[in-house]
Amino acid sequence: MEKTLILLKPDCVQQKIVGKVIARFEEAGFTIRANKMIQLTDDVLREHYAHIAEFPFYPSVEEFMKETPVVALVLEADGIIDTMREMLGVTDCLEADAGTIRADWGSKEDGKNKMCNIAHASDSAEAAEVEIKRFFSEDEVFSY
């Protein structure tokens, strides 16, 4: 079994589609192991997005990710990291395959299509381990 860290971003919260996105995860058979709402800060964003922090677009990502609290989840299933990245679609919502979460609900607006893309999902098992610890303490992740 594999776990992944999901953040439902402010554009997801603002559109009031948190329930729809989580329903899609549950319909896929994923198990919810942890869930809470978090207001992100500059410090945690700089850590979480260290790989893009030097790009010119980073300050706008930081502002966007603080617009509302985000909904964080730990989900579990066999091979969930790859399955989830497929369900989400590529970063640019205009390029994402039809039927993916980013194609269905992400921004198609010029300048926002690469940023306002509904959800973050861990891109490897190593990243998932670090990211789950970043947002959840051990007693917040349930193994029922």
Residues within the interface to ligand ADP (CB under 6 A): 49, 52, 57, 61, 91, 114-115, 117, 120, 123
Residue in 5, 66, 72, 68 with CA at minimum distance from that of residue 36: 72
Whole-angstrom Cα distance, residue 40 to residue 95?
27
Min. distance of Cβ 87 from ligand ADP in angstroms? 12
Active-site residue flag, 51: no
Query: Within its chain, how far is the Cα of 85 from the centroid?
Result: 10
Residue among 7, 105, 120, 136 flagged as catalytic: 120
One-letter-per-residue 3-state SS of 47-104:
HHCHHHCCCCCHHHHHHHHCCCCEEEEEEEECCHHHHHHHHHCCCCCCCCCCCCHHHH
Catalytic amino acids? 120
